[in-house]
Amino acid sequence: MTETKRTYRDLLGLKITYRGKDRFEGEMVARDDLCRVGDMLHGGVFMGFGDSVGAQASLVHLPEGKTTSTIESKTNFFASVKVGETVRCVSTPLHVGRTTIVIESRIFRSDGKLAAIVTQTQIVLDRR
């Protein structure tokens, strides 16, 4: 039996809900195993969620034969997310250049309140 490769997106339970050159959107549930003590979503999960949706948003801007990787990421936290809540991420390009792409990912709680902003820089690389 062949084992199916599980990705980080699978681990998070991330679902992409909108794809476009203008933005990418995704959502996931704050499961108990992704939360810290106190039943709040772990900060690293916010970062990974934003980075994952943001990376997808950068891929649509790559020329043929290129790939990308995150070279810098910054997260600001504004509100906590409780276990069981669905969070939504909206990732938009701030800069699309020849060698770098900068993406801003806004993460919202289920009540619509802004929970975090992840800003990341992606380097454009030759695909090997």
pLDDT per position as a tens digit, 65-81: 999 999 999 999 999 99
Tell whether the model's pLDDT for residue 89 goes beyond 80.
Answer: yes
Choice among 1-5, 28-32, 35-39, 117-121 with the minimum mean pLDDT? 1-5
CA 83 – CA 73 distance, rounded (Å) = 25
User: What's the whole-number mean pLDDT along residues 76-99?
Assistant: 98
Separation between Cα atoms, residue 43 and residue 58, nearest integer Å = 23
> Does 56 score more than 90 pLDDT?
yes
Interstrand relation of 114-126 and 100-108 (parallel, antiparallel or unpaired): antiparallel
Domains and CATH numbers, the chain: 8-126 (3.10.129.10)
Q: What is the pLDDT of residue 3?
A: 74
The whole-chain average pLDDT of the chain stands at 96
pLDDT at 2: 67
- With cut-offs at 50, 70 and 90, classify the pLDDT of residue 5: confident
